[in-house]
Chain A
Amino acid sequence: MGLKSISLLRILFWLSYQIEANWTKFFIYLIYITIRPTFTLMLMIFIYIAVSAVKGPSLEYGYYILVGQAFYNLIGSGIIGIAYTFWDDKEHYKMLKYIYITNVKLSFYLFGRGFYHFVEGLYPLVIAFVLGAYIIQYPLFELKPNFPLLLLNIILGFIWITALGLLVASFLLFTTNYGWIVIDSVVSSLLLFGGVLYSTEILPYPLNLVANYLPIKYWLDVNRNAIKGIDITSVFNDLIFLIILSAAYLIIALIIFRICENIAKRKGLLDIPISF
């Protein structure tokens, strides 16, 4: 990535912030972006508390759900950041044609917009995680996170989440009223198949096999271990799978997006807002 790309990324980051936060003050915006992920996490944490009330606490389960849901929120933020941005620009604001007349590739534009949403999602992740840990009485201060591993994993997460966002955006080039439905389907499927709230082994055959081809499963497992401070060698296999899958998803997503974009261009679909 050259200096020009970094400069463009910075501008896209700024643009995204302006679009998302221009309606209020910075502090209120911080509260606004925190509320939804925090309460979503609380909903899941209370599932654990409900069971604990009957069967007694099992902190490992609590921790599993806590990390799973906190990082799952980030996935939602990242995918929606790309896919919804695209849909909104095309259908709502009708800005897609103006992006085409600039010197930024559409895929890079979406990458930049998605990057903002991903980074923005890290803040509520931390808040929700700390609050959730407090509620389930997890000994937060005993954790000694492996920060380099966690950082590496977050970068890998950004890659495969961006890839999924681009795949969804490819589909949205051709759809009209189904924008939200496609996004919701992907995000909800990840909750079901991704090992967010439970180990994927509990899924019935052959659904459990689906999870093996989803990066989220390995990504969440590495996150759970990295936060506990576990050494990279202990999660080596998961990490290798994650790197391979992330790279594969990104390559496939870029190819599919390019093909879909070309088809949409040929058919004149890029400038046809139909939803609104």
Chain B
Amino acid sequence: MSKINELILVLRVAYARAYVRIKGVNRDLTHFFIDVFLPLLGISAIILAYKSMGAPENLLGFAAIGGAMIAFWYNVLWSMGSQLYWDKEQGNLQLYIISPAPLIGILLGMAIGGAFNMSLRAITILIATSLLFNIKFNLNAILPAFLIFILTLFALYSLGMIFASTFLRFGRSISKINELLGEPILFFSGVYFPLKLFPIVIQIVVSIIPLALGIEGMREILILNKTLFEIIWILILLIALGIIFFVIAVKMLEYLEKLGKNQGTLTLKWD
């Protein structure tokens, strides 16, 4: 099969997997309402906490943007990272492998579908928060902010693809790993507060977390009215992280699939 045909196959598989994910999650609008309403409760509490302390307006906007992005992290952990493990448990993984569908296409489809679903929710949450608490964003800068947003998703879901292939190897303990990665990463991403509160060393270390970079970038543009040129380092880092994570994910998936076949663990349940 030529490289172009391989690529076409990957994209077709990605489309098929993304279709299932998007259709499955959005066919019942109750889910959409719940996915928006529940985070809104938490974000409202944070914004009210800021208001009760007489915080400056920009901190409210910071919390709104960070709060809207939280869903992406949980989606990456639970709907990307754990997915191949669940597929293995339910017997779908072996079906994927005996079909001509490349696993990377399946991962890509999961990422595109998940990112699309979460984007709909995150944007709705942001609009709802803005209306509820009268938070003003620099709407003239919506395009550069959207660019940062898309690059964040690219880097974040590429990281999710690494998790998915790695967690395939971990087995049952992934739920514990997911739980351990949840809140610490949200904390180090500064979802509710500016990253500048961290010491400089920690700020440097957390810049390998796409969520932290993306939130910071969007805040700089939408709240602090900075131009894309002024935060070009965020743009470059997000592109670099996205590419690096994507390449690692592809290599890791190939390696772990091969390892799983050699050791006969690909269909081993409850390990």
Interface positions of A (Cβ within 8 A of B)? 23-24, 32, 35-36, 39-40, 42-44, 46-51, 53-55, 58, 61, 65, 178, 181, 184-185, 188-189, 191-192, 196-199, 202-203
Contact = CB atoms under 8 A, between A and B. Distances in A.
A198 B48 contact: yes
B45 A191 contact: yes
Given A55-B54, A192-B45, A50 B187 contact: no
A32 B183 CA distance: 12
Contact of B193 (A24, A32, A47): A47
B41 A189 contact: yes
B192 A35 contact: no
Contact of B53 (A36, A46, A51): A51
B41 A191 contact: yes
26 contacts: A23-B176, A35-B180, A35-B184, A36-B179, A36-B180, A36-B183, A43-B186, A43-B187, A46-B192, A46-B197, A47-B53, A49-B197, A50-B192, A54-B59, A55-B55, A178-B34, A181-B38, A185-B38, A191-B45, A196-B45, A197-B45, A198-B48, A198-B49, A198-B51, A202-B52, A203-B48
Contacts of B197: 46, 49-50, 53
Contacts of A49: 193, 197
Nearest to B190: A46
A107 to B, nearest CB: 27
Contacts of A24: 176
A272 to B, nearest CB: 19
Contacts of B187: 39, 42-43, 46
Given A47-B50, A51-B50, 11 more contacts: A24-B176, A32-B179, A32-B180, A35-B183, A36-B180, A46-B187, A46-B192, A50-B62, A54-B55, A65-B49, A197-B45
A196 B46 CA distance: 10
A36 B176 CA distance: 11
B173 A192 contact: no
B88 to A, nearest CB: 15
Contacts of A44: 49, 192
B23 to A, nearest CB: 16
A54 B56 CA distance: 8
Contacts of B192: 43-44, 46-47, 50
Contact of A47 (B46, B183, B184): B46
B173 to A, nearest CB: 6
Contacts of B59: 50-51, 54
A43 B63 CA distance: 11
B33 to A, nearest CB: 10
A51 B46 contact: no
Contacts of B226: none
A261 B64 CA distance: 41
B183 A39 contact: yes
A201 to B, nearest CB: 9
**B-side interface mostly:** helix
Of listed B184, B191, B194, residue having the most chain A CB within 10 A: B184
Interface of B: 34, 38, 41-42, 44-46, 48-56, 59, 62-63, 172-173, 176, 179-180, 182-184, 186-187, 190-194, 197
A131 to B, nearest CB: 12
A189 B192 CA distance: 18
B176 A39 contact: no
A197 B46 contact: yes
A35 to B, nearest CB: 6
A174 B183 CA distance: 31
A39 B183 CA distance: 6
Contacts of A54: 55-56, 59
Contacts of B49: 44, 47, 65, 197-198
Nearest to B188: A39
Of listed A32, A50, A58, residue having the most chain B CB within 10 A: A50
Contact of A23 (B38, B56, B173): B173
A35 B172 CA distance: 19
A270 to B, nearest CB: 25
A39 B49 CA distance: 18
Nearest to A38: B183
B52 A50 contact: no
A198 B186 contact: no
A61 B173 CA distance: 39
A128 B171 CA distance: 30
B63 to A, nearest CB: 8
Contacts of B48: 192, 197-198, 202-203
A160 to B, nearest CB: 20
Given A44-B49, A53-B197, A191 B176 contact: no
